[in-house]
Amino acid sequence: MFTKILIANRGEIACRVILTARKMGIKTVAVYSEADRDARHVTLADEAVFIGPAASRESYLVADKIIAACKQTGAQAVHPGYGFLSENAGFAKRVEEEGIVFIGPKHYSIAAMGDKIESKKLAGAAGVNCIPGVNDAIDTAEAAVEIAKGIGYPVMIKASAGGGGKGLRVAFNDKEAFEGFTSCKNEARNSFGDDRVFIEKFVEEPRHIEIQLIGDSQGNVLYLNERECSIQRRHQKVIEEAPSPFISDATRKAMGEQAVQLAKAVKYQSAGTVEFVVGKDQSFYFLEMNTRLQVEHPVTECITGLDLVELMIRVAAGEALPLTQAEVKRDGWAMECRINAEDPFRNFLPSTGRLVRFQPPRETMFASDVSKWQGVRVDTGVQDGGEIPMFYDSMIAKLIVHGKDRLEAIAKMREALNGFVIRGVSSNIPFQAALLAHPKFVAGDFNTGFIAENYAKGFRAEDVPHTNMAFLVALAAFVNRCYLARSAAISGQLEGHELRISDDFVVVPVGQVKNAAATPVRVTEFDNKTFASVVTVGGDSYKITSKSRFGQIRLWGTCNDLPFTAQVERGTAKHPLAIRVSHNGAQIDVMVLLPRAAELHALMPYKAPPDMSRYVLSPMPGLLAEVAVQVGQKVQAGERVAVIEAMKMENVLFAMADGVVGKVLAAKGESLTVDQPIVEFV
């Protein structure tokens, strides 16, 4: 067994590998860029080596620097994690040639599966179901149309080197096939330097279901059940679960056995995943093979009780797999939500900056410890006060739950999301909460088009279903009453003028619209010792108790004897007297006033927000990569004005109306905040 390994990665996956290595008694070496000097993975590792500037092409993607770090520290093996160099056959070969063990498949297996066209030919030869189509590169748009006609519409036009949704088009007729081929070829050339394009049948109402594999150097390969990954946004997975609520045992067995056949055909060793597209009739077709550890591996660990990182390390060290196919378990139901630094209410634009508060829900399961089941686990690479840099992907954490069945897993996940406190950057938690509450998701009735179909206009606050908004109002009134009780207990109050607390209040929304509807509430039976009270909203009563301390954002307690977790804060940036309550993805900002104060508040003049239509504003934090206009220039609606870069994404800003540039308010290379003005029109 190795005594020291280097993790050629960062963030959450680097921390995950370090935890298993520590459990196995193996020393770890982290590598870090300029942006990651204070990152969590650097702190967790036994040693850390600086490898260059923040941009990954100058640090995490430079094979020479990784190999030099191995030699400098005496690391005998490299774990590549996922992303970066993890599926780079050239890197794996270089590592092996330098006498260092690559904790992953052999370079020839990576190369065989890395090319989408060649991998399909190999899969077909190995007896794996493949989608009808032409797997050879197509030369012209005219040929593409003829091939598409032969296969039958709809068809999928794909770049051979594509990934992450780039170089992919769906065509339903000749015109779309012609145009899709041309744009696909151009996009592939620009993104990957490889313009080969092929065509295959598009499976309608498809599900994305993948089989987890593990192989050893003795030729043994096992399949560790499947993962359902159909909840995707723009080809990026959002929620993953194991097992799938859709496929039968017979389909699972057939998919698993075909995946094993493919792995054996390429002499696969280590962890890997074979992705399938599954039709509504449970017909399944090979999509591609990921020759690395997947982001969503924890859900498989939960239902099988196996530590996949440990198995990868043991296999790389030459050990045989410690179990047989018959011994692979499938126990309970696991789900994973990817918690990303993005603003779902601003079309999921990246959100970078400092994590002013980062308080995950209480963990009862842990990465690298598979002895604890049916609880909550958080895999993350950040910590309270840490930074979400603009140079890498947007993942803050992975929230994983394990329950007895699917409904219990959904309930645990919703409660865990309620207790996940993130401040300083926006997160997609409200969107995750809405997905988990959607009736079709709960019923298991979804496919890869679920998000596009149900959130076609983007995600808005009204898309968050909350069965009982009155409960949020009651929580605000309860918290306000707790603070009043503390104020009333302060000593030294002038006799005869002590704070007297009424039972009647009015909850007034703030920050929404002028004269928003106010809600009368009654707060009775308040117990100052146990912090319990009965709050009446309309005709409904809520008996609320809580042991949470003052100043805590996370509020635990019971309501009508049922447990709940919510988030409550006093004061917002725009309304210092407001109380903000968040629960199940929904949020309200309110003031809790005495009835007379509420009457006077209704008479206050309404301050309309300033007119910013003359400005081009930055929709997100990021780096201003380009300003395409100058003072005095006439600009037409739709014309390019500026380009902002953040988290591997390039966002082009366009003029919304015709105008003349009056001022350029930000310079190229400047770091921008949300809503910072870039250009002013006159």
Q: What is the CATH number of the domain that holds 637?
A: 2.40.50.100
672, 678 contact by CB (below 8 A): yes
Q: How far is CA 227 from the centre of its chain?
A: 16
What local confidence, expressed as pLDDT, does residue 164 receive?
Answer: 59
pLDDT in tens, 504-550: 999 999 875 555 689 999 999 999 888 999 999 998 999 999 988 88
471, 559 contact by CB (below 8 A): yes
What local confidence, expressed as pLDDT, does residue 460 receive?
Answer: 87
- What single-letter amino acid sits at 244? S
What local confidence, expressed as pLDDT, does residue 378 receive?
Answer: 98
Tell me the C-alpha distance between 64 and 494, whole Å: 75
What local confidence, expressed as pLDDT, does residue 573 receive?
Answer: 74
pLDDT in tens, 458-491: 898 878 877 788 999 999 999 999 999 999 888 8
Q: How confident is the model at residue 608 (pLDDT cuts 50, 70, 90)?
A: confident
pLDDT in tens, 510-520: 875 555 689 99
Within-domain flag for 108 = no
Within-domain flag for 128 = no
- In this structure, the answer to whether residues 45 and 165 fall within a common structural domain is no
Average confidence score pLDDT of the chain: 92
- In this structure, the answer to whether residues 584 and 624 fall within a common structural domain is no
What local confidence, expressed as pLDDT, does residue 483 receive?
Answer: 92
List the catalytic residues.
288
Q: What is the CATH number of the domain that holds 511?
A: 3.30.700.30
Q: What is the CATH number of the domain that holds 60?
A: 3.40.50.20
631 token code pair: 């003072």
pLDDT in tens, 342-363: 999 988 988 888 999 999 999 9
pLDDT in tens, 193-248: 788 898 988 888 899 999 999 999 999 999 999 999 999 998 899 999 999 999 99
Within-domain flag for 546 = yes
How confident is the model over 302-315, as a mean pLDDT? 98
- In this structure, the answer to whether residues 354 and 422 fall within a common structural domain is yes
274 token code pair: 């074979």
- In this structure, the answer to whether residues 386 and 439 fall within a common structural domain is yes
What local confidence, expressed as pLDDT, does residue 19 receive?
Answer: 98
Q: Which of 133-147, 160-174, 420-434 has the highest mean pLDDT?
A: 420-434
What local confidence, expressed as pLDDT, does residue 310 receive?
Answer: 98
What local confidence, expressed as pLDDT, does residue 291 receive?
Answer: 96
- In this structure, the answer to whether residues 396 and 515 fall within a common structural domain is no
Within-domain flag for 532 = yes
- In this structure, the answer to whether residues 441 and 589 fall within a common structural domain is no
- What single-letter amino acid sits at 563? P
- In this structure, the answer to whether residues 184 and 273 fall within a common structural domain is no
- In this structure, the answer to whether residues 280 and 164 fall within a common structural domain is no
675 token code pair: 């809503």
- In this structure, the answer to whether residues 595 and 650 fall within a common structural domain is no
The pTM of this model reads 0.87
Lowest mean pLDDT of 111-120, 328-337, 433-442, name the range: 111-120
Structural domains of the chain, count: 5
- Whether residue 6 is predicted with pLDDT greater than 80 in this model: the reply is yes
Q: Residue 111, Cβ neighbours under 10 Å: how many?
A: 20
Q: Is 267 left (phi over 0), alpha (psi -120 to 50) or beta?
A: left
pLDDT in tens, 90-105: 999 999 999 999 999 9
What local confidence, expressed as pLDDT, does residue 235 receive?
Answer: 87
pLDDT in tens, 157-202: 988 877 656 778 999 999 999 999 988 888 888 777 788 898 988 8
Share of the chain above pLDDT 90, in %: 74
- What single-letter amino acid sits at 631? V
- Whether residue 252 is predicted with pLDDT greater than 90 in this model: the reply is yes
Within-domain flag for 508 = yes
Closest by CA position to 381, among listed 351, 402, 360: 360
- In this structure, the answer to whether residues 561 and 620 fall within a common structural domain is no
* End-of-domain residue from the set 86, 103, 120: 103
How confident is the model over 601-621, as a mean pLDDT? 86
Within-domain flag for 127 = no
Within-domain flag for 515 = yes
Within-domain flag for 123 = no
How confident is the model over 122-140, as a mean pLDDT? 88
Integer distance in angstroms from the first to the last C-alpha of the chain?
69
Structural domain of 580: 469-489+500-602
What local confidence, expressed as pLDDT, does residue 656 receive?
Answer: 87
- In this structure, the answer to whether residues 79 and 139 fall within a common structural domain is no
Q: What is the CATH number of the domain that holds 148?
A: 3.30.1490.20
- Whether residue 32 is predicted with pLDDT greater than 90 in this model: the reply is yes
Closest by CA position to 55, among listed 10, 87, 94, 21: 10
Share of the chain above pLDDT 70, in %: 98
- In this structure, the answer to whether residues 215 and 286 fall within a common structural domain is yes
